[in-house]
Amino acid sequence: MLEPISIDIAGLNLQALLPMAILTIGALALICVDLAVKGLNRSFLTMITILFIVLDFGAVIGYKGDVRGFFDVLLIDGISLIAQVIILVASALFLPLSMSHRHFREFKMAEFYALFMFMIVGFQCMVTSDNLILIFIGLETSSLALYTLIALHNRAKAFEAAIKYFTMGALAAGFYGMSALIFYALTGSVEIHQIEQVLQERHFEPLVGVLAATIFMVAALGFKLSLVPSHTWTPDVYEGSSAPLAGYMSIVPKIAGFVVAMRLFEMLVASGVVWLEYVLYAAVVLTMTLANITALVQEDVKRMLAFSSISHAGSMMAAILIGTTQANTALFVYWIFFLFTNLGAFTMLWIVRHRENLWDERYQHPYTKFSGLVKIMPMTATIMGIFMFALAGMPPFSVFWGKLYLISAAINSDYIWLAVVIALNSAVAVYYYMKLVVYMFLHEPVTIDARLYATNASTSLKVIVGFAAIVTIFSIAFVEPLLQVITHYVASSGF
């Protein structure tokens, strides 16, 4: 008969599961409570979800334990801790955007919050593992939850966006599976550190196999990170989903994807095989440049922000291409600042949201909507202007520091051309961000009815915008300590 299997509980490192367990329990509890109690209040649901996110945050911050857990499936190293902190902070800041002045159907449903928590669990699994299977399951869990969240926004365009995202996501999942399969067939393992070991022993032979696996992986992760040429879904999906989710999508799935890309591609770039580097180089330069050029001709602010987030993701891939500790630190610092700036910009769009497309038949937030805003609502226009300046990378606002550090990392490791491309692209990007500022400050207003611009404003939204603005403006004070902490964690995990 079956012989008993004995497993050492202490060796499992169950503590490593605590962060994911907290949110899973929270989500399950929320669904059960919703079954018993009908008509739970929107603010109650938001607060309870944030409470669980804060508990999770505590578990992540206070984590002291082995790096490996659960038969080496989990890997909790420095970059996974930083990534989890970014994911949780972003989630806790984007979720309260549900407390807008207008009531939306999806924010009354307990399922929305439960799916939101499941989504965070998925992202956490993605970043706390170097096992291709667990990464895949985390990726799919979070993606499935995200598709549903997008479609819950009760607009025809939201369905279109969700279905587009789902179809492209299914294709990317297929690519991911293909790539993992080839890696497994090549090396007999699905764990990235073992794949690296075996490939290095064999000097990356057979090369054509590694090439095939890399190309499929670039396609799969490139979809999540919206790298050219798999970026085409981004503007449509952002336009279709509500502003809070669009902003969320521009930050959190990408940081999870970057951590996976960092674990996988840096081992490939370090192999010294030249074309592996060229594949990534081409993806990085194309993503930054094409996205910037397309952003120039956009007529809608949300679509412009979508293309701008693609271009920012391109410069992040540059950090992964460079692959030094400084570049990886730059990636996280850049993304933290980008988080707060994008949070502000998308919250502003959420505040000025109006049920009908008053300004343009096709777009919800055309540039003309904002013309002369400074004469109607000077405060709103100024804050929006600050976020645009920050996104354009102007000193002393937040994103500038990330860019500066990234470019210096590129120069330090002799990627002069890459540094030039990043700098040129920032110069191009200034044009489309400033276009909005010009509309707001130099054009004549089309309407003088200020209420049209504040239909969705509420105290909690204003608090979040204020917080984002403060972080954006006074970022100079945080740069040094942030750099030190992140450099410590990144270096400790060997990246």
> What residue ranges bind other proteins (CB under 8 A)?
2, 5, 7, 17, 24, 31, 70-71, 73-74, 105, 108-109, 111, 114-115, 118, 121-122, 125, 131, 133-134, 137-138, 140-141, 144-145, 147-148, 151-152, 178, 182, 185-186, 206, 208-209, 211-213, 215
Which is closer to other proteins, CB of 217 or CB of 336?
217
Distance between CA atoms of residues 384 and 56, nearest Å: 32
Dihedral (C-alpha) 322, 328, 330, 336: value to the nearest 10 degrees?
A: 140
How big is the chain, counted in residues?
495
Which is closer to other proteins, CB of 129 or CB of 380?
129
Which is closer to other proteins, CB of 173 or CB of 286?
173
Q: Which of 187, 200, 192, 184 is nearest to 77 (CA)?
A: 192
> Is the Cβ–Cβ distance between 259 and 266 less than 8 Å?
no
Find the shortest distance in angstroms from Cβ 88 to other proteins.
Answer: 18
Which is closer to other proteins, CB of 21 or CB of 290?
21
Find the shortest distance in angstroms from Cβ 21 to other proteins.
Answer: 11
Find the shortest distance in angstroms from Cβ 388 to other proteins.
Answer: 36
Residue 176 phi, psi dihedral angles, 5° rounding:
-60, -45
Find the shortest distance in angstroms from Cβ 494 to other proteins.
Answer: 23
Find the shortest distance in angstroms from Cβ 209 to other proteins.
Answer: 4
Find the shortest distance in angstroms from Cβ 124 to other proteins.
Answer: 11
Which is closer to other proteins, CB of 14 or CB of 270?
14
Distance between CA atoms of residues 370 and 53, nearest Å: 35
Which is closer to other proteins, CB of 167 or CB of 484?
167
Find the shortest distance in angstroms from Cβ 67 to other proteins.
Answer: 16
Angle at the Cα of 40 from the Cα atoms of 457 and 30, rounded to 5 degrees: 110
Which is closer to other proteins, CB of 142 or CB of 341?
142
Which is closer to other proteins, CB of 134 or CB of 291?
134
Which is closer to other proteins, CB of 133 or CB of 420?
133
Q: Which of 288, 195, 241 is nearest to 94 (CA)?
A: 241
The 10 Å CB-count burial string (b at 16+, else e) for 109-141 is bbebbbbbbbbbbbbbbbbbbbbbebbbebbbb
> Is the Cβ–Cβ distance between 474 and 58 less than 8 Å?
no
Which is closer to other proteins, CB of 192 or CB of 392?
192
Residue 40 phi, psi dihedral angles, 5° rounding:
-65, 145
Instruction: Please compute Rg for the chain using Cα positions.
Output: 22
254 Cβ contact list (under 8 Å, min separation 6): 224, 225, 226, 309, 313, 316, 335
**Percentages of the chain per state (helix, strand, coil), in multiples of 5:** 75, 0, 20
Find the shortest distance in angstroms from Cβ 419 to other proteins.
Answer: 32
Helix (H, G, I), strand (E, B) or coil at 191: strand
Find the shortest distance in angstroms from Cβ 154 to other proteins.
Answer: 8
Token pair for residue 160? 């279109």
Which amino acid does the sequence have at 289?
Answer: T
Which is closer to other proteins, CB of 137 or CB of 454?
137
Which amino acid does the sequence have at 292?
Answer: N
Which is closer to other proteins, CB of 113 or CB of 397?
113
Q: Which of 392, 419, 424, 391 is nearest to 405 (CA)?
A: 419
Find the shortest distance in angstroms from Cβ 112 to other proteins.
Answer: 8
Find the shortest distance in angstroms from Cβ 24 to other proteins.
Answer: 7
Q: Strands (DSSP E) along 30-104, which ranges?
A: 68-69, 74-75
> Is the Cβ–Cβ distance between 221 and 261 less than 8 Å?
yes
136-142 long-range contacts, Cβ below 8 Å, gap at least 24?
A: 136/173, 136/176, 136/177, 136/180, 138/256, 139/173, 139/176, 139/224, 139/256, 139/260, 140/173, 142/118, 142/253, 142/256
- Per the listing, tokens 């969705």 go with 456
Find the shortest distance in angstroms from Cβ 132 to other proteins.
Answer: 10
